[in-house]
Amino acid sequence: MHWIDPDCLPETRGTVTHYLLNPHGELDGFVLGQSRQVHFPPHLSKQIARRIAIGDAVTVRGIKPRGVDMIAAVAVTTKDGRAIIDEGPDHDAKHRHAEVVQRAMEASGAVRLSLFGPKGELRGALLDDGTSLRMPPHAAEALSDYLAPGAHVHAWGYGVKNRNGRCIEVDEIAHLVDESEVDE
């Protein structure tokens, strides 16, 4: 059982506009409205995918880390009032990452949203086409200019794509250069 009582945590309400995938193809978050990331552990992935669809109104109870507009969810209540509570991973049925084959992928576009881990550590970015770019916290911190909203980037790495979205584990990233500016 999770040690935090969700009933004592503040509520945030909103509409789910985008799922967030981890590099194993599992859901580990969603976006409320245009800019608020909600993070949850991957062991809740199947429950969230079964009970919450893009466009659904939800209520989230969770912890907000300092300095970032993100909520680490402890409980999510669906539009029909069903609560999905993080009781911790089921230690008897050990959580295994889905067996997914990552393939070489690349993506480019504007960063819509910086993505954070459960303690508020920078972990990547969400591009305007819905692709999640992910990397370890130490790499993300060093490359924070590339992961800031409004940055235009091109990223290469290995990733997954499924019905819930697309995620690339970034090996290389570069700012996109507008060729018309180079010719001047």
Instruction: Give the pLDDT confidence of 29-59 residue by residue, as tens digits.
Output: 999 998 999 999 999 999 999 999 999 999 9
pLDDT(177) > 80 = no
pLDDT at 144: 97
Q: Which of 35, 58, 85 is the last residue of a domain?
A: 85
Same domain, 118 and 53: no
Q: Which of 52, 85, 118 is the last residue of a domain?
A: 85
Q: CA 71 to CA 121: how far, in whole Å?
A: 12
Q: CA 140 to CA 142: how far, in whole Å?
A: 5
Count how many domains the chain has: 2
Look at the alpha carbons of 94, 99, 103, 108 in this order and tell me if their dihedral is positive or negative: negative
pLDDT at 180: 46
Q: Which range, of 120-129, 147-156, 171-180, averages the lowest pLDDT? A: 171-180
> Does residue 111 form part of some domain?
yes
The CATH number of whichever domain residue 143 belongs to comes to 2.40.50.140
Instruction: Give the pLDDT confidence of 5-37 residue by residue, as tens digits.
Output: 888 899 999 999 999 999 999 999 999 998 999
Same domain, 28 and 63: yes
More confident residue, 77 or 102: 77
pLDDT(98) > 60 = no
DSSP 13-56: EEEEEEEEE-TTS-EEEEEETTTEEEE--GGGHHHHHHH--TT-
Q: CA 40 to CA 146: how far, in whole Å?
A: 24
Region 137-154: mean pLDDT is 97
Reading the block at residue 81, the tokens are 């009032």
Range of the domain at 81: 6-85
Region 66-70: mean pLDDT is 93
> Does residue 93 form part of some domain?
no
Q: CA 14 to CA 110: how far, in whole Å?
A: 24
Q: CA 132 to CA 126: how far, in whole Å?
A: 5
Task: Answer for the pair 60, 71: CB distance below 8 angstroms, yes or no.
Answer: yes
pTM listed for this prediction: 0.88
Q: Mark out the alpha helices in the chain (DSSP H runs).
A: 45-51, 137-142, 179-183
The residues, any chain, with a CB within 8 Å of residue 32's CB and separated by 6 or more, are: 12, 14, 15, 16, 17, 38, 58, 60
> Does residue 53 form part of some domain?
yes
Same domain, 56 and 116: no
